[in-house]
Chain A
Amino acid sequence: MRKNTCELIRRELDELNLDETCSTAAIEHLRECAMCREFHEKQTKLRQIVGSLGTVAAPADFDFRLRARLANESSSAASHFNFVDWPVLQRGLAAAALLLVFATGAFLVRSMLNGPVPVTETAKESAPTVKESPRQLEQAGSFPAPGTVKHEVVTLPPGKRPQRNKMDARAQVAVSNNRRLATIDSSFSGAEVIKGTEPLASSAAIPIDALSLQSFTVSVDDGRGNAKTISVPAISFGSQRLMHNGNQFAPKRVW
């Protein structure tokens, strides 16, 4: 019972301010209890010592340093903005440039794959002469009659040096060696092989028949038995198609 009273009185004394007076019950208890009296005296002295520490003054240049710090903070915040945002911008620009390059490349590849094949020019650039290889001579026997086949053999102009691909390069070598390597045929069944005994003048360049619906086939032989046939689908143009089929919408006798 007494212990509880001491605890309560000490708690009350502890929570009081130094300048406050304690309750009458506490005063009476302090008269009777020497331990609580000693506690109260020590506690008061301790609080007086701690309270005597007082306030430490800030340095005289506190305001000046604070202003400088705030100014520095604002300037560093601005530079921080640039430092942070520029890399983001650069990354964005790099990504955009990468996308642009990729899109351009894709467009070029697609245009190369799907674009119209310049047949006549390719034919002109290809090796025009015919190689008399045994395989082609055998195949020539199975070809349809020349009257039903339209073939174009194109000669390479002497000054022209096409370098489009490996096949063209081979053709160039062959031409320089005075060998005929390629036949060009616009039929479904294959190209006719022109014999080397025929004069080159007879195989003059013939333009592609615009009215023909047949595909354009080019057979290339490198003279060592390696032959390759390239088939180009039929090419038609709107006006040609109209001419071939007739203009259905135009009035009679008017084209």
Chain B
Amino acid sequence: MNTLTTIDELGFAPALQQDVLEDTTSDHALLEATRSGDQDAFAELVSRYRNQITSYIYRMTNDYDGAVDLAQETFVRVYRAADRYQRSYAFSTYIYRIATNLAISELRKRKRRKLVSLTGFFQQSDGSEAKEFNPPDLRPLQDSDLVETERRNAVQRAIGTLPEKYRAPLILRDVDGRSYDEIARILETSEGTVKSRISRARGFLREKMHAYL
């Protein structure tokens, strides 16, 4: 006989906790207030998420100005769709989903425009997608801060070469520190798929970053 270990296995939508519903400073309450025309509530929402969303989109696109634009577009969409917002999931899941879709859309636009990095790329011999080549600078550096900066830049570039489907879960997991469950809801896929993609993304990064490891 199968026994249910959690209430989520019943298949109901995740219920909100009572304290979340009653908390006037919760994201849901702020969005409710925004819906009724409270501009200050929306400003509070923006102040809570602007850095997270901007950073996430920046890690996805590797373009700060573009990331700021897309982050603003994310908030504009949240504001416009405030009336249609459903409290089924956490607000963070909702806003990250919008940001992910915008970032992926931007990446696809870039791919159509055939924009490539000036660092160069090598075409794969098997005819697969061209991948950026970022050789590590092996010369000795004078300052440990410079070393750290160079390593971060290398990681950022390496993340930028990952396919979209691996990039988003890796950033959400290893940069933003989100749970597998939340990532699965943001990306609208299963938790197993998320784990698999993150594992593969780390494998790609290990190959690219072996000089730094």
Cβ 8 A contact of B202, one of A46, A54, A66: A46
Interface residues of B in 171-213 (CB under 8 A from A): 174-175, 177, 180, 195, 198-199, 202, 205-206, 209, 212-213
User: What are the interface flags for A44-80 relative to B under an 8 Å C-beta threshold, 1 for contact and 0 otherwise?
Assistant: 0111011111111111001101100110010000000
Bound: A59/B52 CA distance, A: 12
User: What are the interface flags for A92-124 relative to B under an 8 Å C-beta threshold, 1 for contact and 0 otherwise?
Assistant: 000000000000000000000000000000000
Assuming the contacts A50-B155, A50-B170, A58-B68, asked whether A42 and B55 have C-beta atoms less than 8 A apart, the reply is no
* A70 and B76 contacting across the interface, CB-CB below 8 Å: yes
Q: Is B64 an interface residue (CB 8 A)?
A: yes
Count of chain B residues with Cβ under 8 Å from any Cβ of A?
Answer: 40
Q: Which residues of B contact A53 (CB under 8 A)?
A: 59, 152, 155-156, 175
Q: Which residues of A contact B151 (CB under 8 A)?
A: 49
* A55 and B51 contacting across the interface, CB-CB below 8 Å: yes
Interface residues of B in 42-84 (CB under 8 A from A): 43, 46-47, 50-55, 58-59, 64, 67-68, 71-72, 75-76, 79-80
Count of chain A residues with Cβ under 8 Å from any Cβ of B?
Answer: 27
Task: Return 19 A-B CB contacts under 8 Å, by A number.
Answer: A11-B199, A15-B195, A42-B206, A49-B209, A50-B159, A50-B205, A51-B174, A51-B175, A53-B59, A53-B152, A55-B55, A56-B58, A57-B54, A57-B55, A58-B50, A58-B53, A63-B46, A66-B72, A69-B72
Interface positions of A (Cβ within 8 A of B): 11, 14-15, 17, 42-43, 45-47, 49-59, 62-63, 65-66, 69-70, 73
